[in-house]
Structure 1
Amino acid sequence: MNEETTVRNLSSLAGDAADNPFDFKAIRELAISRRWIILGTFVVCLAVTITWVAQLVPVYQADARVLIDSREQQVVDIQQVLPGLEANQTTMQTQIQIIRSRSLLLRVIEDIGLMSNPDFNLTLAETVAADEPDTAPAEPVLNSAAALRDETDLLSPERIGVVNKLRSALSVRTVGGSTVISISAESTKPALAAQIANSVANLYVLEQLNAKFDATRKATEWLTVRINDLADQLAVAEGAVEAFRMENNLFEANGVSLTAQRLSTLSAQLTTEKAQLAAAEAQLRQINRASGGRIQLDSLSEVLASGIISQLRGQEAQLRRQAAEYSNRYGPKHPKITDLRAEQQDLAAKIAQEVNRVKQRLQNDAEIMRARVGVIQTSLEDVQGATSEQDRARIQLRDLEREVESTRALHDSMLTRLKEMQQTEGVQTPDARVISPAAAPTVPVRPNRRQIFTVSIPASMALAFIIAFMVEKLDKGFRTASQLETALDIPVVAVVPEGGASSGTAAAKMPITEPLSAYTEAIRSIQTALMVSDVDKTVKTIVVTSATSAEGKSVLSLSLARLYAGMGKKTLLLEADLRRPSIAKLLDQNRWEVGLMDYLSGATPLEEAMHKDPESPLYILPVLKPPANPPMIVQSDAMRRLVEEMARVFDIVIIDSAPLLPVNDTRHLLSYVDMSLLAVRWDETSREAVEKSMLQLRENSAPLLGAVLTRADVRRHSLYEYGYGEYSKYGHYYTS
C-alpha cells in the first residue's frame, strides 16, 4: 500500500462512532465510552432549560371569531351606496389587513386604555414603580373624538410604539377555507387578552357599519348639492327654451306649429281653387267651341243646368211638334206654320241670348277664380318662406329642449336616488358580525412546558451526543483493533491489557507467574501469529518497535521472550534500544556489569555479555550503558553478524529496538531481520504518529507481522469492543 492510501485511511478514521455515526454498535460504544460527557451535557442542558422555563412569563391567548357575511338584508329593493363584501380570498386578505391597520388599532388602544398599560407602553413601563398594580383600569373612549383629533399625537413615537406592540400581540387569519376570521390576542393577563380580542372584533364590525353610514351620508350630501345645482340649471334651460320660442314665433297647437297649420290650410285652399278654376276654364272652352259650331250647346252642362234655357228648349220643342202637326194637316205653306216658324226663330234668339249670358258668367267666374288662385299662391309662398326660417330655428329649439330633457332626467334620477338613500339610511347593517366572542383563557399558550420539555430532552440528548462525537473526533488514539486495522490496513495480532499491576516488571512476569491470565493469552496470540505468519520459512528474528517511547514495547518484548522460553524454545532477548535501554531496569538487575556494548567493542566475550533471566530460561543481551554513537553501532557489520549468529544459535531472537519516529536506529535493523512487530499504546499513541511509523516500515520494505495494542484499559476497552470486559461471562477460561 502506498503512502497516499495510508494517509487517506488515517484521515478518514475518527473512531467507529465517527466513521459511521448511524451504526448502532458504534453509537452504543460512543454512549458507553463517553457516558459521563453525555450525562453531564444532558443534565446541564436540562437544567438550563428548566431555569429558562421557570423565568418565562406565561402568555395567554384569547380568540374571537368574526363572520364575513356576503348576504345582504334587502328590506327594500334598493341598491346600497356601499355594496356588500364578496366572499373570496382577496376580500378576506383585505379584511385581515384592515383589522391590522393602524387606524383600527389606534381605536382599540383608546378603547381599552392601552396607552396607560406598561405591558404595551414600553415608555411608561420604564417609569412605573415596582409597587404599582399590574394593570391600569381600562377607560372606554369609543366616542373620544377629541383624543383622535390631534394628528401629531396620533403619530407620536410613543403611540406608534404601542400600535406596533399591539400588532405583534395580534394574530389574524382565516379559518380554513371559510369566511370566518380568527382574531387572537396575546397578553400576560388572561382578562386583557380577551378584552383586546373582543375590542378588535367589535370595533372592526363597528368600523364597517360606520363606513356604510359615512358613505351614505357623504353620498346624500353630494346628491343634495348636485340636485340643487341641476334644479337651477333646469330652470335656466327651460327659460331659454321659452324665450327662444317667443323670439322665433314657434308656437304650437295640439303639437303642431301655427305656421305649419296655416301652410296646410293654404295648400288645401290652393288645390281646391285650382281645381275649380280648371273646371271653369274647361266649361268656358266648351262654350267657345260650341259657339264655333263644333259642339251642340245642348250638351253643355252649364246650358243644361240653366232653367231659362231648359224652359226655352221646352217651348221650342212644343212649337216643333205643332209645326209638324200643322204641316201634316195643312201643308207647309199654311199661315199657322209661318207663325210657328216665326215663334221658333224668336225662341232660338232667346236661347242664343241666354247662352251668351252663361258664357259671360263663366268667363267672369274664371277670372275671379284665377285672381283667388294668385292670391292664395302668394300667401302660400310667404308662409313657405316663414316655415323655412322656423325650421332652422326649430333645430336650435330642439337642441335647447334636449338639454332641458337631459338635465331634467339627471335631476329626476338623482332625486329618486336621494329618496332611496334616505329610506335605507336607518336600515344599514355591517357585512361582518361577531359569532364567537373571546373568553378569558385559563391555560397559557406560552410557554408550553410540555412541548418545551418534549423537545428539549431529545435536543439535550442530541447535543450531548454531538459533543461526545466531537470529543471522539478529537481523540488522538486507538481504542479498538478494528480502528487500527481500518486506519493502517494491517492486522492487529493482539490487544494486550495493562496487566493488572502498577509496574512493567510485574506485567512482564505474568507469562511465568500467571500463564492462564488474559495478559498471557494476549502474548500467546502474538506467538501464534508469528508461528502461522510464514509456513515456508521459520521466523527466527523479530524486531519489536513502536512509534514513540513509553508505549510498552520493552515490556512486550520481555513478555514475548519469556513466553517462548517457557515453551521450551531457546530464546534470546536482544536489547537494541541503545539510547534509552530499560531491560535491566525491568529485571531489577543492578549487578550486571557487562552487556551488548562490551561485546561489540571486543572487551568482553559473548558468553559473559549474555545474562540468564532469573525468572525463566531466557537469555538476555542487555545494553547497560548508552553508547556515544548508536546509529553507527546499529548499522555496523558487527551488529549484523551478531544477529545472524544468534539466529543460528537460538530458536527465536526477540529484538527490543528503539522507537521509529525519534531516531533512525530501527530502520537499519529492519534490513536483516525476519519479522517486525509494531507496538501501539492503547488510547495514547497519536494516530499521526502511527501513520508516520507505518510509512517508515513500508518505505524500508520491512516484513511486518502486524500491530499490537499495548497497555489496554480492560474495563474501558470492553465498552468499545468484545474482549477482556467479558471476563465475567468467561472467567473460568482465565486466572486472575
Structure 2
Amino acid sequence: MLQTQVHFDQPRKLPRPEPDEASLLKGIDLVELLAVARRHAKLVAICAAIGFGAMVVVGALSDTKYTAQASLLLGDRQIRAVQDISAPTNIVAENSLVDNQTEVVRSERVLKIVIDQLKLKDDPEFNGTEPLSLPMQAVRLVQMLNPMRLFQVSSGESDPDFRKERVAIGKLTEAIKLTRQGKSNVLQIAVTAKSPRKAAAIANGVADAYLADQITARVEQAKRAGDWFSEQSAELQKQSYAASRAVEDYRNKNNLLATNGQLFSDQQLSDLNRQLTEISAEVARNRATYDTVKAIVDSGRLDAFTPEAMDNSVIGRLRQQQADLRRRYNDNVSRVGPRHAIALDLDRQIKDVDRQIFEEFRRFLSSAETQLQRSRDREEQLAKQITAARNITSEANSSLVELRQLEQKATSLRSMYQSFLQRYQETVQQESSPINDARVISDASPPLLPSEPRMMLLAAAGMILGLGTGVGIAAYRELSDRAYRTAQQVEEDLGVEVFGMLPIVGGGRALRALPGPIHDPASPGDATLAKFAVKNPFSSFAETLRAVKIGIDDRVKLDRAKVVGVVSSMPREGKSTVSMNLAGLLALQGAKVVLIDADLREAGLTRLAGLSPAAGLGELLLDQASISDIIVAEPETGLTMLPATAKHKFFVSGDLISSPAMGALLQSLGGMYDYIIVDLPPLGPVVDGRAAAQLLDAVVMVVEWGSVPRRVVRSVVASSGAVREKMVGAVLNKVEIDKQRSYEPYGLDKRQEEVFNRYYR
C-alpha cells in the first residue's frame, strides 16, 4: 500500500526541518516578503487612507494659529565681582549661558510681566474661557479619563484672579518656543497665537520683559554683592591687622630678629662656615710644608728643593755661597789637585756652609711646626663655634616654622583684603550704572501665513500612522495565521504527497455555514456541488481528483476492489464533497464504484446527496435492514451508494464500522466493484475513523485551506497511527485560488497561468 510507512507508537510531532542560524538567514526571501505585502496590500492601503483622512479632518477642525518670532542676542558678561567669586575658572561656558538664559526667559517672573502689560488674564485665549475646538475637546476628554486625576489634590485657592493668572502662565508657556540659532548666542523667541498681531505683540513683550528683568536683577545683585563685600572687607581688615601683629610679637618673643630678610643666627653660621673653609685650607698647606721640611731634615739631603726654602733668604744666601765655593773647589782641584792646601781649605769652607744650611733647615722645621699647630688650634676653635651656632639655628628653626605659618596667614589675609576692597569698588560702580549686555536684534512682525494647522504634516503623519497600523495588523494576521496555505506545508507536516488543490466552487461557502440545524436536508446548491466533477470533467477540480485516483492506483496494487477511506481532522472540511465527487468521477470514467457513508452520527454524505433514507449503514450492520433496502444507484454515472441515517444515534458507531459485519460487507462488495469509497467521520471529534482504518487499503486526507490550525491537524494525525499507516496522500480543499496565488511566490505568473488553464476549459 504505502511504499514508506511511518509508525506512531505514541503521539508525537511529525518530522519537520529544524531551522538553524544559516537557514534562518537564508529564509529571508525578498520574493516571499513581496508576496506577504501583496496579500495585505489592501488592508495597509485602507489603514493609510483612514489615517490620512482622519488627520485631514482633525486639521480642518483645528483652530488657525500664527507664529511670530523675535531674536534676542544674549550677553556673555555677568557682574564681574560675583562671577569671580562663583566661578573659580572665571569662564562661563556658552552652552550653559544660553541654557540658563533660556530658563530665565520662560520663568514665571518674566511671564508675569508680559501678562500684566498685555492684560492676558482678560484674554479668553489665555485665561481658559474660550470654547475649545472639536479636536481639543477630544483631547480634554482623554485627559479627564486619565485615572491619575483621581490622585490629584486641589490647591483650595478660590481667588478668580489667581486662577486666571495661573491659567494664563500655563497657556503662555505652551505658546512660547525658544530655540538657539546655530552655535551663536542668539535666542529665537517664537510665540503662537490665534491673531498674528497678538503673536507679534507677545513675542516683543517677552523680549522687552526679559531685558527689563535683567537690569533689575543686575541692580539687585550688585547691591547684595556690594553689601556683602563691604562687610567682608571690614572683617578682613581686622583679621589682617591682627595677623601682622601676631607675626611681630612672635618674632620678638623668640629672638628671631633679621636683616634683609635673613636671621642673625643664619648670618653668623654662614660666616663661621666660610672662615672654617679658609682655615682648613691653611692647615693643609702648613701640613704639606712641615712634612716636606721634616723629610729633608731626616734624610740629611741639603740639595733638596722646596718652595718654602726658596723663599728663605738665609738659605738662599748660603746656597749661593755653597755654589761659589764648589765652583772654586772644582777649579783648584783641576789645576793643583785635591791635596793642595787651597783645595783642602775650600773643602773645609764647603762643609761649614753645609752645616749652616742644615742648621737653618732645622730652624725652619721648628717654625713650620709652630705654624701648623697654630692653624690647627684655630680650626678646632672655629669648629666649636660652628657647633654652637648650629644649635642656636636649630632652636631658631623650630620657632621659625610657626613664624612662617603666621607670616603666610598675614600675607593671605592682606591679599584677600586688597582683592575684596577692589571688588567692592567695582560693585558700587555696577550698582550706580547697570549695563545690560543683551539686546533685541530683530523685532517680531505679524506673520502673513498661519503656522497651524500644518495640513501637509498632519496628512503625512496620519498616513504614516495608518501605514504603521496596517503593517502591524498585517504582521499580526500573518504571524497568527496557523492554517495550511500551500501544499508544501501539508507535505512537511504529514509526510505524504499532496495530490492537488480543490478550488472553492458553487455552494462551498454555503456548506461552511449551513442555516438551521445540521440535520436539515441540504440545499439544491449542495446537490450541484456534489456532482461538480461530473458536470465539469475538464475543470481543475476534476483534474485534482484524477490525480487522487492515479495516486491510489500507484500505491495500492490489488486484484480485488480497493477500499479507500476519505477522512479529515475536523468537521466541515469538505471530505464528504470530495468523497462524492471522487466516486462520481471514477464511475464516470467507467469504473464500478460504491460509495459508503460511514459517518453514522452525522450522515453528511447522505444529506449532501439529497437522500433521506429510512434505514442506512448502521441498520444494515445491526441486521435491522438488508442491503437491497438501503442501496441507491445513481443513473447518470452508475455510481452505487450505501447511505446512512442520522435519525438513530449509534453510541457504538466506532465498533460498528470496525466490526466483522463491516469487514464481511466490504469483502462481499469487493467482488462486485473496482473501488469502495468510504466517507469516514472526522478524526478529531470521534475515534470511528481510527477504528475503521484496519479495514481500509488506503486513506486520503482532506485538509481545508486556510481554516484548521496546522498544530491541530498534526496532533490529530499523530494520535491516529493506523490511519497514518494507510494514508497515501492528501488534498487541499476549498482553496481560494485568487488568494492562494500570493502564497506561492514562485508559482506561475498570470500569462503562464492563462496558458495553463486552457486545459481546464
TM-score when normalising by structure 2: 0.56
**Equivalent in 559, 567, 592 of residue 545 of structure 1:** 567
Aligned to 2:446: 440
Alignment of 1:357-372 (within 5 A): none
Aligned to 1:698: 721
**Equivalent in 202, 209, 223 of residue 203 of structure 1:** 209
Alignment of 1:479-628 (within 5 A): 479-482=485-488, 484-485=490-491, 490-500=496-506, 503-533=525-555, 540-581=562-603, 586-587=608-609, 596=617, 600=621, 612-623=633-644, 628=650
Q: Cα offset for 1:216?
A: 6.3
Contact 1:496 1:710 in 2 (8 A): yes
Change (3 A) 1:533 1:457: farther
Change (3 A) 1:532 1:63: farther
Q: Which shifted more, 689-698 or 200-209?
A: 689-698
Change (3 A) 1:639 1:184: same
Aligned to 1:666: 689
Change (3 A) 1:221 1:542: closer
Q: Cα offset for 1:101?
A: 2.4
Aligned residue type for 2:677: I
Aligned to 2:266: none
CA offsets 1:13-41 (integer angstroms, 9 cap, x no match)? xxxxxxx9996646645754783x55554
Aligned to 1:271: none
Aligned to 2:100: 94
Aligned residue type for 2:213: E
Q: Cα offset for 1:643?
A: 2.8
Aligned residue type for 2:702: A
Aligned to 1:452: 458
In 2, the alpha carbon distance for the partners of 1:225 and 1:685 equals 91
Aligned to 2:521: none
2:181 equivalent to 1:175: yes
In 1, the alpha carbon distance for the partners of 2:82 and 2:625 equals 128
Change (3 A) 1:198 1:582: closer
Greater Rg by CA:
1
CA offsets 1:586-612 (integer angstroms, 9 cap, x no match)? 55567x888756764568876887554
**Equivalent in 719, 722, 731 of residue 708 of structure 1:** 731
In 2, the alpha carbon distance for the partners of 1:102 and 1:479 equals 65
Q: Which shifted more, 726-735 or 212-221?
A: 212-221
Q: Cα offset for 1:614?
A: 1.5
Aligned residue type for 2:562: K
Contact 1:676 1:705 in 2 (8 A): yes
Change (3 A) 1:733 1:207: same
Contact 2:56 2:458 in 1 (8 A): no
Aligned to 1:163: 169
RMSD between superposed Cα atoms in Å: 5.0
Q: Cα offset for 1:685?
A: 4.5
Change (3 A) 1:126 1:644: closer
Q: Which shifted more, 637-646 or 448-457?
A: 637-646
Aligned to 1:323: none
In 1, the alpha carbon distance for the partners of 2:586 and 2:538 equals 15
In 2, the alpha carbon distance for the partners of 1:616 and 1:112 equals 97
In 2, the alpha carbon distance for the partners of 1:548 and 1:223 equals 95
Helix, strand or coil: the match of 2:725? Answer: coil
Aligned to 1:734: 760
Residues paired across the two proteins, number: 515
Contact 2:52 2:460 in 1 (8 A): no
Q: Cα offset for 1:694?
A: 2.1
Change (3 A) 1:699 1:23: farther
Q: Cα offset for 1:208?
A: 3.0
Alignment of 1:352-501 (within 5 A): 428-470=434-476, 478-482=484-488, 484-485=490-491, 490-500=496-506
Aligned residue type for 2:452: R
Change (3 A) 1:210 1:556: closer
Aligned residue type for 1:697: S
Contiguous gaps of at least 5 residues in structure 2: 1-7, 20-26, 85-89, 133-157, 239-412, 508-523
**Equivalent in 58, 62, 66 of residue 56 of structure 1:** 62
TM-score when normalising by structure 1: 0.58
Q: Cα offset for 1:636?
A: 1.3
Aligned residue type for 2:456: R
Contact 1:82 1:212 in 2 (8 A): no
Aligned to 1:641: 664
CA offsets 1:212-232 (integer angstroms, 9 cap, x no match)? 4556678899999999x99xx
**Equivalent in 4, 7, 13 of residue 5 of structure 1:** 13
Alignment of 1:275-290 (within 5 A): none
Q: Cα offset for 1:560?
A: 1.5
Change (3 A) 1:188 1:482: farther
Q: Which shifted more, 725-734 or 705-714?
A: 725-734
CA offsets 1:54-106 (integer angstroms, 9 cap, x no match)? 22223333222222344899xxxxx8999999563333322222222222222
Q: Cα offset for 1:637?
A: 1.4
Q: Cα offset for 1:655?
A: 1.3
Change (3 A) 1:23 1:706: farther
Q: Cα offset for 1:576?
A: 2.1
Aligned to 1:117: 123
In 2, the alpha carbon distance for the partners of 1:661 and 1:417 equals 98
Aligned to 1:680: 703
Contact 2:556 2:698 in 1 (8 A): no
Aligned to 1:314: none
In 2, the alpha carbon distance for the partners of 1:652 and 1:711 equals 25
Q: Cα offset for 1:450?
A: 1.0
CA offsets 1:274-309 (integer angstroms, 9 cap, x no match)? xxxxxxxxxxxxxxxxxxxxxxxxxxxxxxxxxxxx
Contact 2:68 2:445 in 1 (8 A): yes
Q: Cα offset for 1:543?
A: 0.6
Q: Which shifted more, 532-541 or 164-173?
A: 532-541
Higher relative contact order (Cα pairs below 8 Å, separated by 6+ residues): 2
Change (3 A) 1:706 1:441: farther
Change (3 A) 1:706 1:189: farther
Aligned residue type for 1:458: I
In 1, the alpha carbon distance for the partners of 2:232 and 2:630 equals 135
CA offsets 1:604-637 (integer angstroms, 9 cap, x no match)? 8768875544222444444468765533321211
Q: Cα offset for 1:544?
A: 0.5
Change (3 A) 1:157 1:705: same
Contact 1:21 1:27 in 2 (8 A): no
Q: Cα offset for 1:107?
A: 1.7
CA offsets 1:353-401 (integer angstroms, 9 cap, x no match)? xxxxxxxxxxxxxxxxxxxxxxxxxxxxxxxxxxxxxxxxxxxxxxxxx
CA offsets 1:624-665 (integer angstroms, 9 cap, x no match)? 687655333212112123334544654432211222233322
In 1, the alpha carbon distance for the partners of 2:37 and 2:176 equals 47
Helix, strand or coil: the match of 2:178? Answer: strand
Aligned residue type for 1:671: Q
In 2, the alpha carbon distance for the partners of 1:689 and 1:578 equals 23
Q: Which shifted more, 468-477 or 540-549?
A: 468-477
In 1, the alpha carbon distance for the partners of 2:214 and 2:656 equals 106
Aligned residue type for 2:721: R
Q: Which shifted more, 602-611 or 62-71?
A: 602-611
Alignment of 1:17-56 (within 5 A): 25=32, 28=35, 32=39, 35=42, 38=44, 40-56=46-62
Contiguous gaps of at least 5 residues in structure 1: 13-19, 74-78, 128-151, 234-405
2:73 equivalent to 1:67: yes
